[in-house]
Structure 1
Amino acid sequence: MCAQVSKIENQVLTFSALLASIFAIGGLVFGLMFGSLVILFDGVYSTVSLLLTILSLVVSKFIQSPSKRHFPFGKAILEPIVITVKAIVILVVVIVSLHSAVTSLFTGGREMDTSVATLFGVLNVLGCGYAWWYIAHRSKRFTSDLIAAESMQWQMDTLLSIAITVGFIIAWVITQSPLAKYAVYADPLMMCAISVYFIKVPIDMLKEALRELLMMAPSKEIHSQVTAGINKADKLGNQRIKLVGLTKVGRELRLVVDINTQNAHSISIHDIEKTRKSITSQLSTMPFDLHLNLNIAR
């Protein structure tokens, strides 16, 4: 990863950490003050996001530092490990929140000040929406799984804030109607709906991270791009080449390619390097660090 990309990654993660700390404190304070499960969940989620962002920032800087002695094959594997930790922690937070909401439903609900809670929700939507937009905007020109996971966190927080705000508005309307006695169930019901909806996000993050940790095949999109590049290099070169292995680990794309020498008695080092440069050139537009292994096949 080039120095400029690393600098942008660090800037984005630092910005995310600072903003997450503000939402974490606000969510926890207001959640406890107004006795709202969803605001408290938002505060807990922001606190967890802050800790996970700090973890991502530390790992990002660690990956960029040289350490061939202890990591002879690079540190890219640390990225899916961090994302796995993020996904598991977020999943636990969602499950615990769902349990609290269900318990509250069966114990008489929870009263809250819906007017102040709605104002908090609106401020949250604006703040989280800006963070999501900023991170997505800054990461358009480069690929980083850490930033992608960070963007997903803020997307989840933004949608969560929107759901909370809409729920508070509905709860306020209920308090002004003959059904006012049922308003105490609005908060835990919102929490149940939010938990069920958002549980898919950490599960998807976990699945993708585990695919990389297990060195499984990458997405169809990546596989198609690599195959097209290999086929083009095969047509342009004198040697027949074939893709036999492909995986993505963090910011690295790892390929194993066979050079077929069936019709030749030998192959020169010059021809091997020419093939390597041709493959690298065809795949240079992909936003990954390329790790290419060439095998001589007969």
Structure 2
Amino acid sequence: MNREQRILRTSIAMTVVLAIAGIVFGLMAGSASIVFDGIFGLTDAVMTGLALLVARLISLSRSRDNISRKLDERFTMGFWHLEPMVLGLNGMLLIVAVTYALVTSIDSFLSGGRPLAFGYAIAFAVVSLIGDLVMVIYVRRANRKIDSELVALDGRSWIMATCLTAALLVAFLIGALIQGTSIAWMSPYIDPAVLALVCLALIPVPVATVRTALAEILLVTPRDLKTEVDDVAREIVRRQGFLGFRAYVARVGRGKQIELYFIVPPNSPARKLEEWDALRDEIGEELGDEGPDRWLTIVFTTDLEWAE
């Protein structure tokens, strides 16, 4: 958790620096696409800050101090539900930003384009591209060890920023090269055209993020997890001679919520509580992924109504 928070803090700092530089250079160059790059970055920094807050809350809830006890009293179900909320809000804000930039680019294109100071634009694009690539490599390598969805989201944001900056750099280089040629009249249209293309390319990414977040917020059953749990439960039913089972699963952020109800035959031989607990331990081991991010409930009953 500390490593996750450190990665997110580094990402926020780098994002703010590049975003402010983008807005300043964008205004100097007269480039709406660079200004959008800066605003996009600031939006991402705010959302990464929220992700950092969620990671901090989850970390505190696992500690054994007074703060943890107070959090447990207020949030007995944990903080997993905050992760998809942050992801969904992040995606929605990015969709709004990209849509607005697309409309602005179309309006600028229809109004005759926008003249650019290509020297400032190219200088910023080169520096920004280097910074973006460094962060992509850093975040992706770091997340291989911790496998955090929040850090993974941040990594995808850096990839989006890298693609955006690379597209801007190529467009600005082309614009600078055609100066003084017979097609120099096209240069004012380069900025709005590349901004529109970048927006169209970026829109699917936050849409996918929002779709995933909504599925987790609405507790849509993940098929892979349900299949895994069903397979284990069927084997337990076969070995123990139970009548059947009911499984309820959900994935919320990094957390897995699993509820298993086994239908025991009426009048079956009595067992000690220690035996039932041992069977629960066995089922938990077969399900795997034991840890603070798994919420597992196992119930044995002879009454089907308790399972439905």
TM-score by length of 2: 0.86
> What secondary structure does 1:156 align onto?
helix
> What secondary structure does 2:296 align onto?
strand
Per the TM alignment, residue 109 of structure 1 is displaced from its structure 2 partner at its CA by 0.4
Contact 2:237 2:262 (C-alpha < 8 Å) held by counterparts: no
Match of 1:9 in 2: 4
Contact 1:80 1:212 (C-alpha < 8 Å) held by counterparts: yes
Q: Structure 1 residues 229, 136: closer, same or farther in 2, change over 3 A?
A: farther
Q: Which of 117, 121, 124 matches 1:120?
A: 124
- Does residue 39 (structure 1) correspond to residue 18 (structure 2)? The answer is no
Structure 1 CA distance for aligned equivalents of residues 236 and 104 of structure 2:
57
Match of 1:110 in 2: 114
Q: Which of 38, 57, 60 matches 2:55?
A: 60
5 Å-filtered alignment, 1:66-81, equals 66=68, 67-81=71-85
Larger Rg: 2
Match of 1:3 in 2: none
Match of 2:252 in 1: 249
> What secondary structure does 1:178 align onto?
coil
Equivalenced residue count is 291
Structure 2 CA distance for aligned equivalents of residues 83 and 121 of structure 1:
28
Contact 2:118 2:176 (C-alpha < 8 Å) held by counterparts: yes
Structure 1 CA distance for aligned equivalents of residues 142 and 118 of structure 2:
36
Q: Which of 194, 205, 210 matches 1:190?
A: 194
CA RMSD of aligned residues (A): 2.3
> What secondary structure does 2:146 align onto?
coil
Q: Structure 1 residues 157, 297: closer, same or farther in 2, change over 3 A?
A: same
Structure 2 CA distance for aligned equivalents of residues 53 and 287 of structure 1:
25
Structure 1 CA distance for aligned equivalents of residues 31 and 290 of structure 2:
46
> What secondary structure does 1:92 align onto?
helix
Q: Deviations over 1:243-274 (max 9, x none)?
A: 61110011210011122322734444223322
Q: Structure 1 residues 155, 233: closer, same or farther in 2, change over 3 A?
A: farther
Match of 1:161 in 2: 165
Moved more, 82-91 or 273-282: 273-282
- Does residue 27 (structure 1) correspond to residue 22 (structure 2)? The answer is yes
Q: Deviations over 1:30-79 (max 9, x none)?
A: 01110111111111111111111122112221232221221111111111
TM-score by length of 1: 0.89
Gaps of 5+ in 1: 1-5
Contact 2:284 2:290 (C-alpha < 8 Å) held by counterparts: no
Q: Structure 1 residues 110, 260: closer, same or farther in 2, change over 3 A?
A: same
Per the TM alignment, residue 140 of structure 1 is displaced from its structure 2 partner at its CA by 1.1
How many percent of aligned residue pairs carry the same amino acid? 25
> What secondary structure does 2:55 align onto?
helix
Per the TM alignment, residue 230 of structure 1 is displaced from its structure 2 partner at its CA by 4.7
Structure 2 CA distance for aligned equivalents of residues 221 and 84 of structure 1:
22
Moved more, 37-46 or 288-297: 288-297
Structure 2 CA distance for aligned equivalents of residues 288 and 139 of structure 1:
19
> What secondary structure does 2:258 align onto?
strand
> What secondary structure does 2:144 align onto?
coil
> What secondary structure does 1:255 align onto?
strand
